[in-house]
Amino acid sequence: MVSSRISLIILLAAFVSTTSVGQTLVSISYKGQRSQEALAQEYGFLIQNGVEMWKVTYTTPDVFNQLDTASGLLILPVREETTIYPTLIYQHGTVDGPQDVPSNLQGGYQLALVFGGLGYATLAPDFLGAGTSRGFHPYVHADSEASAAVDMLRAVRGYAPQIDLLLNDQLFVTGYSQGGHASMALHRALELELADEINLTAASHMSGPYSISGVMRELMVSEEPYNFLAYLPNTYLSYNYVYGFYDDLEQFFKPTYTNAIRNFYEGNIGLSNLNNFLISNLTNEYGAPIARYMLQDSIVTILEDADPNHPVIAALEANDTYEWAPQQPTRIFYCTADDQVKYRNSIVADSVMQA
């Protein structure tokens, strides 16, 4: 069963283009397989089947509405008997760089493997600006997190009949950390904009920074030590890339930190290296890794005042993902000891959605 499907897909993949099967599918390439026994040994007895892994590339608009080629990992359950599978979209957490992504069997793809092993046809988008996609990754940018996932789903659904992949009408959405923000953004888009096209069954969002303009902004200007400082410049670079606030990094960050941030933006160092640099320098100068001390005083004032008319604050608010009311079953998971994304994001999101 496994080998016959592999042979069929490899044969068909040679003929796939944007003008053939599925208007948004560009290519599909085999990345390997895992047996049920191997997955169960690593992830537990609930694993029901083995899986095949495929890199999918597909067309989708970038943040400037120009057509781009994005990528993601498709994980297909493998069973001896013919089975109709539900679909699940898993959005991954923050990664170290643009190639640390699921389609390269990195970037948190293990959770996608687990979902495949549980019997879901699982899609794990790489996001824009990562994998095959061009440009800088628009980190925690809600609209593109949603659109990249929707277009991967369209591509896979359009291609499924060509490989005898049987999918039922169930669709589940989940994600962790940045992926929790992304899955919430996707969930919102599916319910509020795409309900006539795509039916969502249920969603589960895990430890996401849903309150960018509230909880996360307050953390960045607090006196609280924070060991994941690189998330702040990553977010700034993302929103400045999309919205274009400033021409120079020194308009936002103190000069001590701009060279390292620029090196990250240009792809010369990874996010973890940037984070280590920021922690070391802030600790040496201020005694603790406190995010506000890498910012220009004028920026601290802007963030503290939170004037919604200021472009920076408007961008933060535009990427909050919780101010709406889900109609499909929804669970939000968090843990109070989370030292990367404050659990109050989940409390705020739940309270607003319930209201």
Residue given tokens 């003008």 in the structure block: 19
Phi then psi for residue 33, to 5 deg, are: -145, 160
Write down the pLDDT at residue 72: 98
Q: Which residue has the tokens 């191997």?
A: 38
**Count of CB atoms within 10 A of residue 225's CB?**
15
pTM (2 d.p.): 0.93
| pLDDT for position 24 | 87
Q: Which residues contact 66 (CB under 8 A, 6 or more apart)?
A: none
| 77 touches 121 (CB < 8 A) | yes
Residue with tokens 């000891």, as numbered in its chain:
337
Whole-number pLDDT of residue 1: 32
Question: What is the pLDDT at residue 313?
Answer: 98
Closest C-alpha to 168, from 199, 141, 135, 205: 199
Integer Cα distance of 299 and 166 in angstroms: 52
Tens of pLDDT, residues 33-79: 999 999 999 999 999 999 999 999 999 999 999 999 999 999 999 99
Exposure on the CB side of residue 313, measured as CA atoms within 13 A: 14
Cβ(258)–Cβ(264) under 8 Å? no
CA dihedral for 218, 220, 223, 224, sign (positive or negative): positive
Interacting residues of 171 by C-beta distance below 8 A, sequence separation 6+:
86, 87, 88, 89, 153, 190, 198, 199, 200, 201
- As a whole number of angstroms, the distance between CA 90 and CA 102 comes to 10
pLDDT of residue 11: 33
Summarize pLDDT for 170-225 with one digit per residue, the tens. 999 999 999 999 999 999 999 999 999 999 999 999 999 999 999 999 999 999 99
Angle, vertex CA 307, rays to CA 302 and CA 309, nearest 5: 115
pLDDT at 18: 35
Spell out the residues 6+ positions from residue 122 whose beta carbon is closer than 8 angstroms to its own.
74, 75, 87, 88, 89, 90, 112, 115, 116
Closest CA to 139 of 175, 186, 178: 178
Residue 248, amino acid: D
Cα dihedral sign, 346-62-200-105: negative
Give me the helix-helix angle, 178-192 and 142-159, nearest 10°: 70
Q: Write out residues in the chain with pLDDT < 50, as ranges.
A: 1-22
